Structure 1
Amino acid sequence: MARASFLSLADQSKVEVMRQMNCSLHKMARMIQKSRNVIRRYLADPLNYGSKQKKAGRPRKVSSRDERKIIREASNSTRSLKDIKADLSLDVCKSTVHNVIRRSGVIVCQKMKKAPKLTDRHKQKRLDFVKANLQTRWENILFSDEKKWNLDGPDGNRHYWRDLQKEKRVFSTRNFGGGSLMVWGGFCNGKKMELQFISTRENSVSYQNTLQKAIVPFFRLRRRTHTFQQDNASIHSSNSTKNWFAAKGIKVLDWPACSPDLNPIENLWGSLVRRVYKNGKQYGSIQELKDALQKEWDAISTAELEQLVASMTDRLVEVIQKNGGETSY
């Protein structure tokens, strides 16, 4: 892998965190994939590092006409910035599209983000987790999670580009989301496990039956090298399930509570939600929703999975930077 001769601002931040943790130069180089000489030059004079680097500007790429098209496309729609850019065939980045929408003054993104409340104890556990896993080979971790899917769309507040000059859009729903199903998913580096459609009322025994089908074949030749990840749901941490893992010889990663932001499969679910419910899509039956989920799960690329696993180092560094607080993931 080619190593750049200059540290980005993000890399500089990571080096500072690792310096405070008394990490060796060799460990820093391995964690951020840069040479020791590059890191040594930065540590020699952090304040003036890169001051001689010239930053070339570039002319504005969006015309007034394109700005008007972006505003019309975003007005009261559920399209993402990526979709707006693609629909208008714009040769600009998503940030440029977002800046145009923000400058309009009449369109805002209405969204409420859910996040678990982190106590001081949770934050300390997250910091302990980071310190214990600085040397972990994340490509050898099988990440997993369950998710509920509704026929009418995802749980939580739907959001869209609201045009303040127009009437609000409403989203029609049926009782209890029109019906729902639960799925279990997992992946390890570039390999996906088979998607499992499970009961909405799982218990320890049914969870173990799911894992028997989903992960036991994978771990058959990987018990010494790989580790299984799961959250702290009661059926995951019950004595029955712990005994099941012990009997199968499968190691389980000690996971901190209230930390979905550290699990890359949460980002994978988010990607699937955008694909399955694109443009406000709703489904008429459970089977139709199952088929759509299976199709999009099968379409997930190896590169996408590897990129999510590669983000683990950044997640850990951000936990330290925020003193155990919630990350941007």
Structure 2
Amino acid sequence: MNNNREHRHLSEIGVVKLVTLLQEGHSQQEVARRLGVSQSVVSRAWRRYRETGIYHRRQGQGRKRKTTYAEDRLLRISAKRKRFCTARELKNDLQLATGTTVSTDTIRRRLSEAELKPYRPATGPVLTAAHRRARLQFTHRHADLQIEDWRHVFFTDESRFCLSTNDRRRREFGGGQVNDLFNVPYKKWNGLVVDQLWFGVESLLRIVPTWDDIIVPVVETFGAIHGPGFVFMHDNARPHIANVVRQELVAANINVLEWPPRSPDLNPIEHLWDNLDRKIRALENPPRTLHELSIRLQEVWTAIHQEEIAALIKSMPSRIADCIRARGGHTRY
């Protein structure tokens, strides 16, 4: 664990880790690097432990601690119960409950001592009770499918890629005013709609204007080649569930996998969308026109190893199992 700023002291938990690492044979320099402190801190703590056998600092050393053990415990419990609280809110709660006034820096230090670090929360679609039931029913129906069964599924998904980085989504502070001064004009969206399709470990990346360019030349063709074991998967986007699309698939004798709504975590393609977007953004010379963007997307997609796609397909049983354990709720995917 490397910190940007080295600390002068270690918490009792930190000293326990320090002693354990040194007893395992690690050098003081390596332990200091892993704990994010200077080597002198490691040396002092190790010498104190060998002399006294204790992990905490001796009484009377350093500035008097502003919070007691009970107050530190209250902070830990409050931070775990109110996961989105700020250091200022915890400071105010502590003052209201105990009368102790400390700075927000002290609050952050106490949380750091307890190894409570801030993380960016995971995001996902809102799931109602009906959505959870549908997801749970879907996963129970397909819980017995093996990896070979999922190789017969033609996974599909679509995404937008644009030349601008913010995709036209502007923000304003203090918004709510409907006024010409705050009305932001925008240009027509300048990007590409990309369809990503899998069949087993074979993959395609199609840049298409309409769904008609997918159903007949791609889906029906692959369905005819593969035979009766072929299963087509697409999500519940409005163009996908339109009557004309349903009728076309029925006429072509395409078996459609009924997909539960709001379930991107069950579709392994979502991971490749993120991979594709990050690689496009990381290019030294980003595309400036739609034609260049189209070429770069195809190049980056072609460079993706088939082993990576195969690994994602193999994750389907785990995704199903995770959704069942979550009772239809969000999964780690």
TM-score range, shorter chain: 0.5 to 0.7
Tell whether 2:134 aligns with 1:125. yes
Corresponding residue for residue 182 of structure 1: 193
- The equivalent position to 1:308 in structure 2, one of 306, 309, 312, is 312
Cα deviation, residue 234, structure 1: 1.3
Q: Distance in 2 between matches of 1:58 and 1:254?
A: 57
Q: Is the Cα contact below 8 Å between 1:149 and 1:182 reproduced in 2?
A: yes
Normalised to the residue count of structure 1, the TM-score between the two structures is 0.57
Residue 139 (1) aligns with residue 151 (2): yes
Q: Hey, what does 1:257 align to over in structure 2?
A: 261
- Aligned 1:79-90 pairs, distance under 5 A: none
The equivalent of 2:161 in structure 1 is 149
Q: Indicate which of 292, 303, 308 corresponds to 1:288.
A: 292
Would the alpha carbon gap of residues 175 and 221 (structure 1) be closer, same or farther in structure 2, given more than 3 Å must change? same
Partners of 2:157 and 2:134 in 1: CA distance: 20
Tell me the distance in 1 between the aligned counterparts of 2:191 and 2:35: 40
Q: Which amino acid aligns with 1:249?
A: N
CA-CA distance at 1:189 after TM superposition: 2.5
**In 1, Cα distance between the equivalents of 2:279 and 2:35?**
26
Question: Map of 1:1-329 to 2, 5 A cutoff?
Answer: 114-136=123-145, 137-153=149-165, 155=167, 175=186, 179-193=190-204, 195-199=205-209, 206-278=210-282, 282-329=286-333
Q: Would the alpha carbon gap of residues 150 and 115 (structure 1) be closer, same or farther in structure 2, given more than 3 Å must change?
A: same
Q: CA-atom RMSD, angstroms?
A: 3.4
Q: Which residue of 2 aligns with 1:100?
A: none
Matched pairs, number: 214
Secondary structure of the residue aligned to 1:236 is coil
User: 1:181 deviation in Å?
Assistant: 1.0
Higher Cα Rg: structure 1 or 2? 2
Deviation at 1:120, TM superposition (A): 0.6
Distance 2:30 2:252 in 1: 58
Give me the TM-score of the superposition, normalised by structure 2. Answer: 0.57
Cα 1:129–1:264 shift into 2, 3 Å: same
2:225 aligned counterpart, secondary structure: coil
Query: What is the deviation of 1:261?
Result: 0.6
Q: Is the CA contact 1:153–1:177 (under 8 Å) kept in the aligned structure 2?
A: no
The separation in 1 between residues aligned to 2:303 and 2:166, in whole angstroms, is: 20
Evaluate the alpha carbon distance shift between residue 156 and residue 176 of structure 1 in structure 2; reply closer, same or farther with a 3 A threshold.
closer
Q: How far 1:150 sits from its partner (Å)?
A: 1.1
